[in-house]
Amino acid sequence: MFYNDPDDVTALKETFKQIAHTTDGDQTSNPYQIYGSTHSIISNGNAVGSFNMDSSVGKDSVFSFSWSNGGTAPTFTVTSPSGTPYCTNTGSSCYNPSVVSVDSSLGTAAFRFSTTEVGQWVYNIQTTSTQLVSVMITSMASSVGTPPIVAEAGLSATDVSTGGQAIVVYAKVTQGHQAITGAVVDAKIASTGGTVTTLRLVDTGS
**What confidence tens digit (pLDDT) does each residue in 70-95 have?**
668 999 999 999 999 999 999 999 99
Q: Where are the alpha helices (DSSP H) in the chain?
A: 9-20
Please tell me the distance from the alpha carbon of residue 89 to that of residue 46, in angstroms, as a whole number: 15
Q: Residue 108 is inside which H or E element, if any?
A: strand 108-115
* pLDDT average, residue stretch 158-174: 77
CATH 2.60.120.380 residue window(s) in the chain = 9-141
Q: If pLDDT is split at 50, 70 and 90, which confidence band does 165 have?
A: confident
Q: Summarize pLDDT for 101-113 with one digit per residue, the tens.
A: 999 889 999 999 9
What is the structure's pLDDT at 28? 66
* pLDDT average, residue stretch 121-134: 95
State in words which class domain 9-141 has.
Answer: mainly beta
Please tell me the distance from the alpha carbon of residue 6 to that of residue 192, in angstroms, as a whole number: 10
Q: Which residues, in sequence order, are CB contacts of 205 under 8 Å at separation 6+? A: 181
Please tell me the distance from the alpha carbon of residue 18 to that of residue 20, in angstroms, as a whole number: 5
Residue 36 pairs with which residues in a beta bridge? 136
Q: Which residues, in sequence order, are CB contacts of 86 under 8 Å at separation 6+? A: 77, 78, 79, 80, 94, 95, 96, 99, 100, 111
Count Cβ atoms below 10 Å from residue 159 Cβ, excluding itself.
8
Please tell me the distance from the alpha carbon of residue 64 to that of residue 120, in angstroms, as a whole number: 17
